[in-house]
């Protein structure tokens, strides 16, 4: 289907199915039950984050997964995309399509410039160059470019760039009641939702989510095509042996630069979508630790695999959400079967890993994955699957269609 | 003239911190070949050693004093630190006052221990893995360490003042014959600079004049040959890791009065320290020190109002800008050797 | 007139004159060996042909065009392929993919962004690669992970990758170094076969005299960066200067 082989088609169909049915899949527990409070993730805000961060990491994976160039400054493109989209909302109109288009163009231009400079070096020097350039962008966005009292206030500094009633919006806006206009796609507001009550279950279908999900699916499809193309093969060859590339008559730099720009555009698109869901862009999105989080999501899922980025982004966002919701009371309820002393001790210990301590848990998971599962959760899944399918083994997948190792 | 001297002085304290952290990073990189993103966390742990010692020294017994009452009319609770009741009021108070300098002694064994555990428990297993993996696992470790600190000490900065004698500033300009009040410089920053100079000198002397140091330097230059001579280089490298951790920790201890320790100070310093290492030249110890001070002073100059008026925002980006230019034009940095880490 | 003409090439590293007034003339469709004791400058010379090193003096002309100042990929595109001392292949890719990459490079040039078609949909390239694998007797290994093969197979694959580009000049840098006897003999047979069956010029750097005398039509002896003699193999064997150069090496060692 669509020029994909059978295995990829299956994968793509599964992802389509999951994305479309996400409001059901993520809301398995009846509304109001304690399990629902804890584990349901089917609300618009979180679902949007799943797919948007999915796009971001899919793009990052095209660079890091295929070429092995570790960019530690990718959040800069996310931020640039966010600002671009908000400016589009302020100056032109509230339709999201032009906004994300501008996000992609601006971040693509930045990626071309930054990539051109950074790709003069490889290895750790490349990582530090991207880190330094991204920190520069962050510092500038936070200070001079965002001074509210100056005429040249691009980012609005600490407060973040947001809409106001005085914005020109040349394509007009329907603000009759003095409220801020909302982002929309030809009139369909991103934040509007349809809720369906089925028994004691409540499912929410949000316009913004479905819009982002469709864009994620398109991005995912493009990434499959790139992985299976001669271009993708060249990128894997760059990772494998640059020396041989050069002596085979291939110029590696334009290949890596193209991958860098593509992944920059993906990041810009993700930033534009974040702003489309909530038109507010702050500099903290560009901080280098945000870049680190992108790397973490990619590694968690499985670098260099097709589905890994989506898994990593989803896993990261889902656990962040759950872990931060767990508090001591909930822990006490869960552990009430234990003798009191032990219960208190255990709760006291677990206290550090949940609620505000979710960073710690994710940090530990991240370390464990790097140490024991360099191929990420996808590799872990494959290993488990292998254990169960030992019997009907014999038909090994050819490496040509398999995801590149490591 | 006086303003130039003032900026140089202003750059010295940050420059000292950069130099100390970069020195440790370079030691680890040069000996073990590992890019350690958790090095900033070691700096942070050092600063929290100072906080911890202060807390330990101020542990108090609470006694109700029946002779005094608080505003509700209840007996006033008086907290007396144990050290004051043990060593007498004056000695105890002095101990508390001098908590930060005392933390130097307190932190050295802790930092060396942390360094050993890190190297033996984690880093050792990553020597053969790609640099990207090393970066990632130490980055993960840095997150874990800072979150652990946050869990125990909270998210807010904890003021940890210097001993009373070193609080306040002195008029440096008068010494040099300028007008009074032209160059005012805080005492503690003076102390910090002197302290870091001593540490840097000690590390260099250790490497130059001891047999141990000689072997390590030889190992930095050519690991295989030294290994062939039958010298157990790995063990020495582990000790080097401990020393590098101690250097970072000491830099953190003494930095506590300048900037109240918070859990993310390590991450804040980390990126800049890497930039310093690259500017100095990967694997070059003198380069790291030189670049540390140079960039610290450069940053101080860039934050002068006269300069900011010409190029707005330059103070925010100057270090990165210098680093980018250096990497692009002179990839081996100011004093680095050829070919280090260039694939 | 030869296909590769080297005139007056000199290269200095600090205090060491690695190459001094090197002259070389490789005739088309011959196998020209460059031999010499360790440190004679053989590898330095080879690196000057492929754009890795820039000589201080002299010229290197390939088919009438200078190769100096060009990058390795440009020189490859001119028709020079290089085999390395330790096989340089794409270890993370499959054998078939390894073989396809040079064919893509030959057809599409140094960079082409065909990011949206399937790589296996390029029938002519896949067929060419499969054909090449058959020539190399590796058809059964096409799906293998290249890094997991034996050293001899890696060498075979690397030579195949170079040949798939139909280069006019094939440079071999000690192709049998570090190989077991059996692998060495296999490689010699393969190279002989290539030499007989294809219109190709081969320049080989080699230490192993067995390999040299099985393959070479012409031999240049290099010592201390200077060409000592250039002659046919029969004459080289007993040449006093050559014996001196090699014996001198043995005596010193």
Q: Which domain CATH number covers A221?
A: 1.10.3470
Q: What is the separation, in whole angstroms, between the first and last Cα of chain C?
A: 39
Residues of chain B neighbouring A68 (CB-CB closer than 8 A) = 132
Whether residue B147 and residue A145 make contact (CB cut-off 8 A), yes or no, is: no
Whether residue A124 and residue B317 make contact (CB cut-off 8 A), yes or no, is: no
CATH code of the domain made up of B2-58+99-329: 1.10.3470
Say what the pLDDT of residue A1 is: 64
Say what the pLDDT of residue A247 is: 94
List the single residue in A225, A237, A399 with the smallest CB-CB distance to C143. Answer: A399
C-alpha distances in Å from residue C182, one per residue of A247, C53, C190: 28, 34, 12
Mutate to test the interface with A, among B143, B310, B323 (most CBs of A within 10 A): B143
| Burial status of residue C44 (CB atoms within 10 A of its CB: 0-12, 13-18, 19 or more) | buried
For residues A334 and A329, what is the distance between their CA atoms, to the nearest angstrom?
Answer: 9
What is the sign, positive or negative, of the torsion defined by CA atoms of B298, B299, B304, B310? positive
Whether residue B139 and residue A122 make contact (CB cut-off 8 A), yes or no, is: no
In B318-337, the residues whose Cβ lies within 8 Å of chain A are 320-321, 323-324, 327-328, 331
Beta-bridge partner residues of C34: C205, C220
Residues of chain B neighbouring A72 (CB-CB closer than 8 A) = 135
Q: Count chain A–chain B contacts defined by CB atoms under 8 A.
A: 108
Mutate to test the interface with C, among A1, A235, A399, A403 (most CBs of C within 10 A): A399
> Which of B192, B144, B112 lies closest to B38 in space, CA to CA?
B144
Say what the pLDDT of residue B332 is: 79
Q: What is the mean pLDDT of residues C191-201?
A: 89
Residues 6+ apart with CB under 8 A from B302: B308, B314, B315, B318
Six-digit token pair at C122?
A: 């390029």
Residues of chain A neighbouring C76 (CB-CB closer than 8 A) = 246-249
% chain A with pLDDT above 70:
94
Q: B189-226 in b/e burial notation, b at 16+ Cβ within 10 A? A: bbbbbebbeebbeebeeebeeeeebebbeebbeebeeb
Whether residue B320 and residue A132 make contact (CB cut-off 8 A), yes or no, is: yes
Q: A169-173, A190-194, B79-83, B139-143: which has the minimum mean pLDDT? A: A169-173
Say what the pLDDT of residue B77 is: 75
Total domains in the fold of chain A: 1
Whether residue A251 and residue C102 make contact (CB cut-off 8 A), yes or no, is: no
Q: Is the pLDDT of residue C143 over 50?
A: yes
Q: Going from the N-terminus, what domains does chain C have, and what CATH number goes with each?
A: 1-79+167-253 (3.40.50.300), 93-166 (no CATH)
Band (pLDDT 50/70/90 cuts) for residue C98 is very high
Q: What is the mean pLDDT of residues B80-107?
A: 83
pLDDT in tens, C30-55: 999 998 887 788 889 999 999 888 99
- The chain-wide mean pLDDT, for chain A, equals 87
Say what the pLDDT of residue A177 is: 67
Q: Is the pLDDT of residue B1 over 70?
A: no
Say what the pLDDT of residue B109 is: 94
Residues of chain A neighbouring B122 (CB-CB closer than 8 A) = 371
Whether residue A289 and residue B342 make contact (CB cut-off 8 A), yes or no, is: no
Say what the pLDDT of residue B113 is: 94
**Residue B224 contacts A where some CB pair is shorter than 8 Å:** no
In A60-89, the residues whose Cβ lies within 8 Å of chain B are 68, 70, 72
Mutate to test the interface with A, among B22, B30, B124, B140 (most CBs of A within 10 A): B140
Say what the pLDDT of residue C179 is: 81
pLDDT in tens, A213-222: 999 999 999 9
Q: What is the mean pLDDT of residues C70-91?
A: 93
In A91-150, the residues whose Cβ lies within 8 Å of chain B are 117, 120-125, 127-129, 131-133, 135-136, 139-140, 142-145
Pairing of strands A280-281, C218-223: unpaired
Instruction: For B42-104, give the DSSP string.
Output: HHHHHHHHHHHHHHHHT-EEEEEEEEEE-TTSSEEEEEEEHHHHHH-HHHHHHHHHTHHHHHH
List the single residue in A128, A139, A374 with the smallest CB-CB distance to B274. Answer: A128
For residues A127 and A272, what is the distance between their CA atoms, to the nearest angstrom?
Answer: 25
- Higher pLDDT: A212 or B61? It is A212
Instruction: Give the strands of the sheet with C169-173, arranged side by side.
Output: C80-83, C169-173, C201-205, C31-35, C218-223, C226-231
Q: A370-384, C3-17, C233-247: which has the minimum mean pLDDT? A: C233-247
Say what the pLDDT of residue B223 is: 66
Residue C22 · residue C57 · CB < 8 Å: no
List the single residue in A244, A249, A258 with the smallest CB-CB distance to C90. Answer: A244
In a domain? residue A400: no
pLDDT in tens, B122-131: 988 888 888 8
- A to B contact (≥3 Cβ pairs closer than 8 Å): yes
In C78-214, which ranges are E strands? 80-83, 169-173, 201-205
| Largest CA-CA distance found in chain C, in angstroms, rounded | 63
Residues of chain A neighbouring C144 (CB-CB closer than 8 A) = 399
Whether residue C119 and residue A232 make contact (CB cut-off 8 A), yes or no, is: yes
Say what the pLDDT of residue C140 is: 92
Neighbours of chain C (3+ CB pairs under 8 A): A
Whether residue A122 and residue B148 make contact (CB cut-off 8 A), yes or no, is: no
Band (pLDDT 50/70/90 cuts) for residue A82 is very high
Whether residue C92 and residue A400 make contact (CB cut-off 8 A), yes or no, is: no
Residue A182 · residue A197 · CB < 8 Å: no
> Which of C29, C56, C30, C31 lies closest to C41 in space, CA to CA?
C56
C-alpha distances in Å from residue B265, one per residue of B18, B44, B147, B158, B186: 13, 6, 12, 12, 21
Whether residue A258 and residue C113 make contact (CB cut-off 8 A), yes or no, is: yes
- The chain-wide mean pLDDT, for chain B, equals 84
Q: What is the mean pLDDT of residues B285-302?
A: 90
In a domain? residue A302: yes
- C to B contact (≥3 Cβ pairs closer than 8 Å): no
Count of beta carbons in the 10 Å neighbourhood of residue A130: 26
**Residue A221 contacts C where some CB pair is shorter than 8 Å:** no
Count of beta carbons in the 10 Å neighbourhood of residue C17: 16
C-alpha distances in Å from residue A66, one per residue of A61, A231, A375, B174, C147: 7, 10, 13, 62, 17
Residues 6+ apart with CB under 8 A from B90: none
| Burial status of residue A95 (CB atoms within 10 A of its CB: 0-12, 13-18, 19 or more) | middle
In a domain? residue A155: yes
DSSP B260: -
Six-digit token pair at B3?
A: 């303003």
Instruction: For A170-236, give the DSSP string.
Output: TT----SSSPPP--EETTEETT-EEEEEETTEEEEEEHHHHHHHHHHHHHHHHHHHHHHSHHHHHHH
In a domain? residue A347: no
Q: Which residue has the tokens 């090095």?
A: B39
**Residue B136 contacts A where some CB pair is shorter than 8 Å:** yes
> Which of C73, C93, C100, C75 lies closest to A246 in space, CA to CA?
C73
**Residue A360 contacts B where some CB pair is shorter than 8 Å:** yes
Neighbours of chain A (3+ CB pairs under 8 A): B, C
Band (pLDDT 50/70/90 cuts) for residue A122 is confident
For residues B110 and B124, what is the distance between their CA atoms, to the nearest angstrom?
Answer: 20
For residues A118 and A123, what is the distance between their CA atoms, to the nearest angstrom?
Answer: 11
Q: How far is C251 from chain A (nearest CA, A)?
A: 37
Say what the pLDDT of residue A268 is: 97
DSSP C207: S
Say what the pLDDT of residue A230 is: 94
Domain extents for chain B?
2-58+99-329
In a domain? residue A273: yes
**Residue B131 contacts A where some CB pair is shorter than 8 Å:** yes
| Burial status of residue A94 (CB atoms within 10 A of its CB: 0-12, 13-18, 19 or more) | buried
Q: How far is A331 from chain C (nearest CA, A)?
A: 46
Pairing of strands C65-66, C57-62: antiparallel
Instruction: Give the strands of the sheet with C16-26, arranged side by side.
Output: C16-26, C4-13, C57-62, C65-66
Q: Is the pLDDT of residue C249 over 60?
A: no
Say what the pLDDT of residue B160 is: 86
Residue C246 · residue C37 · CB < 8 Å: yes
Residues of chain A neighbouring C89 (CB-CB closer than 8 A) = 241, 244
Q: What is the mean pLDDT of residues B56-72?
A: 77
- Higher pLDDT: B156 or A28? It is B156
Beta-bridge partner residues of C83: C172
**Residue A105 contacts C where some CB pair is shorter than 8 Å:** no
Name the CA radius of gyration of chain C, rounded. 19
Q: What is the mean pLDDT of residues A291-302?
A: 91
Residues of chain A neighbouring C114 (CB-CB closer than 8 A) = 229-231
pLDDT in tens, A177-211: 677 888 888 888 888 888 888 888 888 889 999 99
Q: Is the pLDDT of residue B226 over 80?
A: no
Whether residue C101 and residue A251 make contact (CB cut-off 8 A), yes or no, is: no
Q: Give backbone dihedrals phi and psi of C181, rounded to 5 degrees, phi first.
A: -55, -45
**Residue A175 contacts B where some CB pair is shorter than 8 Å:** no
Whether residue B271 and residue A131 make contact (CB cut-off 8 A), yes or no, is: yes
Whether residue B317 and residue A136 make contact (CB cut-off 8 A), yes or no, is: yes
Q: Which residue has the tokens 């960079």?
A: C111
For residues C175 and C188, what is the distance between their CA atoms, to the nearest angstrom?
Answer: 9
Say what the pLDDT of residue C37 is: 82
| Burial status of residue A83 (CB atoms within 10 A of its CB: 0-12, 13-18, 19 or more) | buried
What residues make up the domain containing A34? 6-172+182-325+373-388
Q: Give backbone dihedrals phi and psi of A190, rounded to 5 degrees, phi first.
A: -60, -30
For residues A202 and A42, what is the distance between their CA atoms, to the nearest angstrom?
Answer: 9
Whether residue C165 and residue A249 make contact (CB cut-off 8 A), yes or no, is: yes
Q: Which of A33-37, B54-58, C93-97, C136-140 has the highest mean pLDDT?
A: C93-97
Six-digit token pair at C165?
A: 């580009």
List the single residue in A3, A244, A406 with the smallest CB-CB distance to C118. Answer: A3
Whether residue A370 and residue B137 make contact (CB cut-off 8 A), yes or no, is: yes
Q: A244-258, A316-330, C52-66: which has the minimum mean pLDDT? A: A316-330
Q: Is the pLDDT of residue A253 over 90?
A: yes
Q: How far is C196 from chain A (nearest CA, A)?
A: 24
In a domain? residue A34: yes
């Amino acid at each position: 289907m669509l020029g994909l082989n059978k295995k990829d088609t299956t994968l793509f169909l599964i992802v389509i199915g999951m994305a479309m049915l996400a409001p059901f899949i993520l809301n398995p527990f009846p509304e109001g039950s304690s399990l629902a409070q804890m584990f349901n993730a089917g609300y618009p805000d979180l679902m949007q984050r799943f797919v948007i961060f999915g796009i971001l990491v899919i793009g990052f994976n095209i660079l890091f997964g295929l070429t092995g160039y570790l960019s530690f400054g990718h959040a800069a493109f996310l931020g640039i995309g966010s600002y671009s989209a908000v400016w589009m909302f302020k100056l032109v109109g509230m339709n999201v399509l032009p906004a994300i288009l501008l996000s992609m163009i601006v971040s693509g231009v930045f990626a071309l410039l930054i990539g051109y400079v950074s790709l003069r070096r490889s290895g750790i020097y490349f990582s530090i160059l991207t880190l330094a350039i991204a920190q520069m962008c962050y510092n500038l966005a936070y200070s001079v470019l965002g001074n509210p009292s100056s005429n040249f206030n691009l980012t609005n500094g600490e407060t973040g760039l947001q809409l106001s009633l005085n914005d020109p919006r040349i394509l007009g806006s329907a603000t009759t009641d003095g409220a801020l206009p909302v982002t929309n796609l030809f009139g369909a507001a991103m934040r509007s939702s349809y809720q369906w009550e089925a028994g004691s279950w409540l499912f929410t279908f949000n316009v913004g989510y479905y819009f982002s999900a469709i864009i994620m699916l398109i991005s995912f499809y493009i990434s499959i095509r790139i992985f299976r193309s001669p271009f993708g093969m060249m990128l894997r060859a760059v990772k494998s042996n640059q020396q041989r590339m050069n002596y085979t008559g291939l110029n590696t730099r334009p290949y890596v630069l193209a991958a860098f720009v593509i992944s920059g555009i993906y990041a810009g698109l993700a930033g534009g979508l974040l702003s489309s869901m909530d038109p507010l862009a702050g500099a903290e999105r560009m901080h280098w630790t945000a870049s680190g989080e992108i790397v973490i999501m990619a590694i968690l899922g499985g670098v260099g695999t097709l589905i890994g980025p989506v898994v990593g982004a989803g896993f990261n966002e889902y656990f962040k959400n759950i872990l931060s919701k767990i508090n001591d009371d909930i822990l006490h309820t869960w552990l009430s079967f234990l003798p009191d002393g032990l219960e208190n001790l255990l709760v006291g210990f677990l206290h550090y890993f949940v609620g505000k301590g979710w960073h710690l848990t994710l940090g530990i998971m991240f370390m464990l994955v790097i140490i024991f599962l360099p191929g990420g959760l996808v590799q872990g899944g494959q290993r488990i699957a292998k254990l169960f399918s030992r019997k009907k083994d014999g038909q090994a997948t050819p490496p040509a269609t398999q995801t590149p190792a490591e | 003239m006086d303003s130039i001297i003032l900026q140089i002085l202003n750059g010295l304290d940050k420059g000292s911190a950069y130099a100390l952290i970069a020195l440790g990073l370079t030691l680890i990189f040069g000996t073990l070949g590992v890019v350690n993103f958790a090095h900033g966390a070691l700096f942070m742990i050092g600063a929290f050693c100072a906080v911890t010692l202060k807390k330990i020294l101020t542990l108090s017994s609470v006694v109700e004093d029946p002779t005094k009452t608080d505003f509700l009319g209840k007996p006033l609770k008086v907290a007396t630190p144990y050290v004051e009741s043990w060593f007498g009021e004056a000695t105890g108070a002095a101990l508390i006052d001098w908590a930060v300098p005392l933390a130097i002694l307190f932190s050295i064994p802790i930092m060396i221990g942390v360094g050993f555990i890190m190297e033996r428990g984690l880093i050792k297993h990553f020597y053969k893995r790609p640099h990207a993996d090393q970066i990632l696992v130490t980055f993960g470790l840095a997150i874990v360490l800072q979150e652990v600190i946050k869990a125990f000490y909270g998210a807010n900065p904890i003021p940890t003042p210097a001993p009373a004698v070193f609080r306040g500033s002195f008029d440096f300009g008068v010494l040099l014959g300028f007008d009074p009040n032209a160059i005012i410089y805080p005492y503690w920053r003076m102390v910090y600079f002197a302290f870091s100079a001593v540490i840097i000198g000690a590390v260099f002397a250790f490497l130059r004049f001891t047999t141990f140091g000689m072997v390590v330097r030889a190992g930095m230059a050519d690991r295989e040959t030294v290994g062939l001579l039958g010298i157990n280089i790995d063990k020495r490298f582990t000790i080097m890791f401990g020393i590098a951790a101690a250097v970072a920790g000491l830099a953190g201890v003494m930095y506590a009065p300048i900037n109240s320790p918070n859990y993310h100070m390590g991450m804040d310093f980390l990126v800049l320290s890497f930039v310093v290492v690259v500017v100095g030249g990967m694997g070059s110890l003198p380069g790291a020190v030189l670049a540390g001070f140079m960039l610290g002073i450069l940053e101080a100059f860039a934050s002068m109002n006269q300069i900011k008026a010409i190029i707005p925002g330059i103070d925010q980006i100057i270090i990165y800008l210098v680093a980018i230019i250096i990497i692009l034009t002179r990839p081996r940095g100011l004093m680095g050797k050829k070919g280090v880490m260039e694939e | 007139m030869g296909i590769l003409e080297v005139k007056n090439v000199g290269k200095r590293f600090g205090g060491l004159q690695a190459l001094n007034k090197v002259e070389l003339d490789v005739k088309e469709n011959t196998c020209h060996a460059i031999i010499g004791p360790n440190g004679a400058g053989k590898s330095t010379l080879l690196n000057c042909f492929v754009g890795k090193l820039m000589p201080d003096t002299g010229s290197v002309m390939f088919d009438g065009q200078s190769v100096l100042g060009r990058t390795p990929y440009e020189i490859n595109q001119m028709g020079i392929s290089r085999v390395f001392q330790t096989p340089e292949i794409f270890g993370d890719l499959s054998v078939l993919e390894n073989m396809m990459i040079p064919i893509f490079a030959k057809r599409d040039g140094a960079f082409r962004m065909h990011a949206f078609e399937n790589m296996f949909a390029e029938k002519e390239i896949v067929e060419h690669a499969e054909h090449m694998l058959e020539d190399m007797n590796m058809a059964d290994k096409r799906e293998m992970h290249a890094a997991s093969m034996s050293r001899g197979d890696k060498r075979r694959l690397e030579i195949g990758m170079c040949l798939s580009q139909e280069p006019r000049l094939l440079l071999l840098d000690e192709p049998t170094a570090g190989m077991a006897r059996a692998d060495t003999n296999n490689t010699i047979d393969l190279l002989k076969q290539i030499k007989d069956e294809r219109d190709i010029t081969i320049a080989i750097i080699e230490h192993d005299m067995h390999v040299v005398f099985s393959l070479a039509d012409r031999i240049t002896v290099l010592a201390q960066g200077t060409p000592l003699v250039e002659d046919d193999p029969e004459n080289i064997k007993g040449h006093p200067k050559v014996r001196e150069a090699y014996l001198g090496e043995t005596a010193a060692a």
